[in-house]
Structure 1
């Protein structure tokens, strides 16, 4: 009698686990394909964000190069005794 009282709740719990596991197995391929598509494709928002980042980095490189050129010009002018 006691064994039956213990087995019944365990059987009910196990059947719930089986149903959840079966649902996970069935939905796994759909989730995997969706994740693969997301990884391969780029949304317009991501493309815009990446392009903006690329433009900012290019502007930073140009600003550094411009500062370096101005510094070199000042240095050359100073060495030649000319005002900048």
Structure 2
């Protein structure tokens, strides 16, 4: 039994050495990765900014379309005279 136990005990640190070294590296780089993640959460990327702007413009255009349809219906009820639309437009920076 001793013949098998001694070589196993001697080989154990050699076999586990990679795991310990990787754990030490992971622990050492954890604050750096956490800081990078926090910076990523705190800032808005250009892609996110573009996506948010597109969403905002689509909502604004939908509002404008509803307003135009409402105005057109009211105009038709009045007989269709003087139906120029002078409401908000999505491209106007009001």
The TM-score with structure 1 as length reference comes to: 0.71
Q: Which runs of 5+ in 1 are unaligned?
A: none
Q: Which has the higher contact order (CA 8 A, sep 6+)?
A: 2
**May I ask how many residue pairs the two structures share in their alignment?**
79
CA RMSD of aligned residues (A): 2.4
Shift of 1:73: 4.8
Choose the corresponding residue for 1:41, options 43, 48, 72. 43
Higher helix share: 1
Q: How does 1:1-80 map to 2 (within 5 A)?
A: 1-71=3-73, 73-74=75-76, 77=77
Structure 2 residues not aligned, in runs of 5+: 82-94
What TM-score comes out, normalization by structure 2 length? 0.65
Runs of 4+ aligned structure 1 residues displaced above 6 Å come to none
In 1, the alpha carbon distance for the partners of 2:80 and 2:75 equals: 11
